[in-house]
Amino acid sequence: MKKICIIGSLHWDIVVNTNKIPKKDETASGSKVHYLFGGKGGNQALSSNRYGSDTYFIGRIGKDNFGKKILKTLKKSTIDIKQLQVGSEKSGMSVAVIDKKGNYKATIVSGANLSIDYKKITLKKNTGILLLQNEISEKINLIAAKKAKEINCEVWINAAPARKINPKLLELIDVIIINKVEAEFYKKSLFQNKFNKITKVITLGSKGLEVQFPDGDHKKIQAFKVKVKSTHGAGDAFIGAMASYKLRGNNFISCLNYGQAAAALHISSTIKQRNKILEKDILDLIIKNKT
């Protein structure tokens, strides 16, 4: 079976539950704090690995305590981390606040993620999908995408957070996954005729998603209705699961549905329960929804 390569960010996340997300100049009282493994790259790697894909990860951490915690989580998975770089920089981290409805705001400090050494990146010949995000430097994304094309590997990007994308990189992308806010940002650049060969997936939270295919076909897919506990990392759960299902030869629409089910289970589970979600739970939810 082909492998999935994820090159991206690793963060140690500090996630605070609060009754109210503070406004400007306001201090709000939080009710709980969670210290979690994170970073879009890391989260997507865990998700793709959890749902059965042979996943290898390339990224960078520091030698500090956050780096040690990130490493411990990666080591508990079966992700191949032989190309994980360790530097003298501070490890990446994020701070997020989440209110009772699951609304979420966050800030990241990239640290070591921005010092990935491109000379140490090797894409294995049997890689089927290279998955990138925007939390590392664009130079790395471009170099990696070029290497991917040399071995006939698809390039997927979760272009988050939104930032201007080099047209040279856009030309190498097969699939882009963005949310509603990011789609607004990319409206002018991405949706031009020139980039029609990119499959665009726009996630819409509880409203599901829209997909636009290179042949002009487009579809809207409904989200699964679940009680939300927290939306933190939901997009990453979706992308990792979807890429994993695609790698196993499934058609794109069923992969989107599979990813949506994985995200639904993720947002309706507690942090402890999330680590125990299995492929069987995803398939059960899909069947339940059809009947």
Binding site for ligand RIB (CB under 6 A): 9, 11, 13, 38-40, 43, 94, 106, 108, 135, 233, 235-236
Phi/psi of residue 3, each to 5°? -105, 160
- Least distance CB 145 / ligand RIB (angstroms): 20
**Which is nearest to 6 in space by CA: 125, 112, 108, 144?**
144
Q: How far is the CB of 94 from ligand RIB (least distance, A)?
A: 4
Nearest CB to ligand RIB, comparing residues 46 and 153: 46
Distances in whole angstroms, Cα of residue 286 to Cα of each of 219, 254, 263: 18, 10, 12
- Which residue number, 59 or 235, has a Cβ lying nearer to ligand RIB? 235
The DSSP secondary-structure symbol of 51 reads: T
CB-closest chain residue to ligand RIB: 38
Dig out the tokens for 196 from the structure: 């029609």
**Considering the complex, what minimum distance in angstroms separates the CB of residue 232 from ligand RIB?**
6
Q: Which is nearer to ligand RIB, 91 or 147 (CB)?
A: 91
Nearer to ligand RIB, 4 or 237 (CB): 237
Taking the C-alpha atoms of residue 280 and residue 274, their distance in angstroms, rounded to an integer, is 14
What backbone phi and psi angles, to 5 degrees, belong to 80? -80, 115
What is the Cα–Cα distance from 61 to 124, expressed in whole angstroms? 22
- Residue whose CB is less far from ligand RIB, 21 or 286: 21
User: What is the nearest approach in angstroms of ligand RIB to the Cβ of residue 265?
Assistant: 16
